[in-house]
Chains A and B, each alone.
Chain A
Amino acid sequence: MPTYEKIIDSDKERRKIKADRRMREIMTAYYMEAKTPKEQRGKKIAWITSGGPVEPLHVMDVIPIYPENYGAMIGASKMGVDLCEKAEEMGYARDLCSYARADIASATVNGGPIGGLPEPDMLICCNNICGTVLKWYEVQARYFNVPLFILDTPITHTTFNDEMRRYVTRQSAEYIRFLEKACGRRFDYDRMAEVGALSIRAQELWQAILDTTMSKPSPMTCFDAFFHLAMIVTLRGTQTCVDYYEMLLAEMKERVAQGIGMLPVEKYRLVWDNLPIWYRLRWLSNKFMERSACLVADTYTSGWVSQMPSVSSTDFLGFMGESYARIFLNSGTDLMAENIIRMVKKYDADGVVFHSNRSCKPYSFGQYDIQKILRKKLGIPTLMIEADMVDERSFSESQIETRIDAFIEMMKK
């Protein structure tokens, strides 16, 4: 007695995104290089927060490594609970973000899908995503005994003013001095202009890729975006990233031209808010697909595109601080709500799915208010799913399934 009619998908092969393979190759090569022993590798390694300014690292030929990206890999390979429990044994609270727990634990046991991350030579922490990263990176700086640079970005509650601008610009200059010292050589400003241009180009391409989902049927879902996101997070500022996204964009445009959607049937279009639930991506993607609901966009993956369209590609450093300070996650609830409203309109969505993420407080904190604002301003249905991005112990399958079912039943009328 299936609740939903079985959709027979004879076109499944055609629906697959071909670029996926190339993406896997690039990511493998990236981690292989980083995992090469230090003596052979030559390059230094910096661990950096997902929202941190990575471009200057590329200028200095430092390999950026993202514990959060690794956290996602840990989550997706369902190794999160083990590592989280390990961190709890070490004395960390279960309320601590599961990326932090997984990373702190994995550093001590070389755990996780690739047997731990290569040791850092320095740590770069930008608190534009949350306050958790400050303490997390301090812990790691002590553990590995390496220098830590902190870029402090004030929250944009409603507006970003000149004082804030000066504050972050000054820190950008400090950041460069930190890198010069850590690497023992001068910073190359010409190279910065090139890397900056590549980063901006990658951001434009990524946004263009995300924008293809305005088409009906949508050529991909947010579950695909969660996968292809790794590139903009880890490799923005490189030619590899630009080349890959050009290829992916071309494929997306081709899909649009041929009317190939990611879902065999697309009845409802939804927007996702918050981080993915990494260990349940396939399950969730199938649940929504079986109900002909397409998650066309999300607030998470678009977070890596600068909110400043005017960013000058010739003076990247001059704008860097501000552009990193003004990301979605570092703004007030009103701006977050506006962003979702904009997305609902842009992608012509019928509803919004909120993942209330036990780990990520800054992302989840305002969701009830945002829900209310959406109800008032757009009158569209919303769904709240309570879970955690890495710690499976906070996921209850039957309860979440009931909510998804009820949500779809509600939209059916």
Chain B
Amino acid sequence: MAKDIITAGIDVGSISAKAALLQHDRIVATHVILTGYNSQNAGRQVFDLVLQQAGLDAGKVAKIVATGYGRNSIAFAHKAVTEITCHAAGAYFLDRRVRTIIDIGGQDSKAIALDDSGKVKDFAMNDKCAAGTGRFLEVMARALEVDLDAFGAMSLTAGQAASISSLCTVFAESEVISLIARGEQRPNIIAGIHASIASRVVSMAKRVGVRAPVMMTGGVSKNIGVVKALEEKLGANLIVSDRAQVTGAIGAAIIAVGL
């Protein structure tokens, strides 16, 4: 198919829905909204919004690929592809050197190993439990009465990260509450929370084998505290694109070019 066509990728996740438009190997526009309870609507809506942003008509989009947990409910997409394959395509597009992806989203986290051509070689997912996901952070933010967006910056001011040993979200929450009761500083607790996510995610990533460079994708990559904690556990720097949250949507749009 001709390279100058416009394609779209729509990534409907559990918390947010993302869309990307692509033309000529160039990202035309991206958009993010909250998914809400109706993933089908969210897909339509985010697509309309990204078109609006680009000043384009839906008719101009030649192919659409849907991804994410809501992928099969997007009736106007030409194909549904899993977020694993899409994240790989998106990450490789953003940076060809990437060999490992760590993705922490709202409801799951995953590690993806790429081969030299950017194809998925292996993957591991944590989706049975909220620990190690964005949800875990939300629960903790509530317990600490701190706005989640402030987590990253606050954790950087920590003196000594508190130790949080529970692997279960519910147990970890009560650990956090007892830390608060004991008068532990908030930044230290938050740093401890980040360290606990990092250790969980890194041990999962090691299952697929971590090859540098490692890119982090997903909404949680906006949290600098988690990024730093991951880097420390990995002993390597992470590539974090400013498009980290829309990597899956971009990947979907790339895959759409090949349809």
Chain A residue, CB-CB nearest to B74: A1
A399 to B108, CA, bound (A): 9
Q: Interface of chain A, helix or strand or loop or mixed?
A: helix
Interface residues of A in 399-413 (CB under 8 A from B): 399, 402-403, 405-406, 409-410, 413
A1-B80, A3-B71, A409-B120 given. 18 additional CB < 8 A pairs?
A: A1-B78, A1-B79, A3-B80, A368-B207, A375-B122, A375-B209, A381-B121, A381-B122, A382-B122, A398-B69, A402-B69, A402-B82, A402-B125, A405-B82, A406-B120, A409-B81, A409-B84, A413-B119
B222 to chain A, nearest CB (A): 23
From A375, A386, A398, A402, residue with most partner B Cβ within 10 Å? A402
A382 to B123, CA, bound (A): 9
Q: How many residues of B contact A (CB 8 A)?
A: 28
Are B128 and A396 within 8 A (Cβ)?
Answer: yes
Q: Is B124 an interface residue (CB 8 A)?
A: yes
User: What residues of chain B lie closer than 8 Å to A396, measured between beta carbons?
Assistant: 127-128
Q: A1-B74, A375-B122, A398-B69 given as contacts; is B84 within 8 A of A406 (CB)?
A: yes
User: What residues of chain B lie closer than 8 Å to A183, measured between beta carbons?
Assistant: none
Are B125 and A403 within 8 A (Cβ)?
Answer: yes
A384 to B111, CA, bound (A): 13
User: What residues of chain A lie closer than 8 Å to B66, measured between beta carbons?
Assistant: 1
User: What residues of chain B lie closer than 8 Å to A368, measured between beta carbons?
Assistant: 207
Interface residues of B in 66-107 (CB under 8 A from A): 66, 69, 71-72, 74-85
User: What residues of chain B lie closer than 8 Å to A399, measured between beta carbons?
Assistant: 108, 125, 127-128
A413 to B84, CA, bound (A): 14
A409 to B120, CA, bound (A): 9
Closest 7 CB pairs of A and B: A406-B84, A406-B82, A409-B85, A399-B127, A405-B82, A3-B80, A410-B120
User: What residues of chain A lie closer than 8 Å to B108, measured between beta carbons?
Assistant: 399
From A381, A406, A410, residue with most partner B Cβ within 10 Å? A406
- Report A114-152 CB contacts with B as 1/0, cut-off 8 Å: 000000000000000000000000000000000000000
User: What residues of chain B lie closer than 8 Å to A50, measured between beta carbons?
Assistant: none
Among B78, B85, B124, the residue within 8 A (CB) of A410 is B85
Chain B residue, CB-CB nearest to A386: B128
A384 to B121, CA, bound (A): 14
User: What residues of chain B lie closer than 8 Å to A410, measured between beta carbons?
Assistant: 84-85, 119-123
User: What residues of chain B lie closer than 8 Å to A382, measured between beta carbons?
Assistant: 122
Are A384 and B124 within 8 A (Cβ)?
Answer: yes
User: What residues of chain A lie closer than 8 Å to B120, measured between beta carbons?
Assistant: 406, 409-410
A406 to B81, CA, bound (A): 8
Are B85 and A406 within 8 A (Cβ)?
Answer: yes
A168 to chain B, nearest CB (A): 36
User: What residues of chain A lie closer than 8 Å to B80, measured between beta carbons?
Assistant: 1, 3, 405
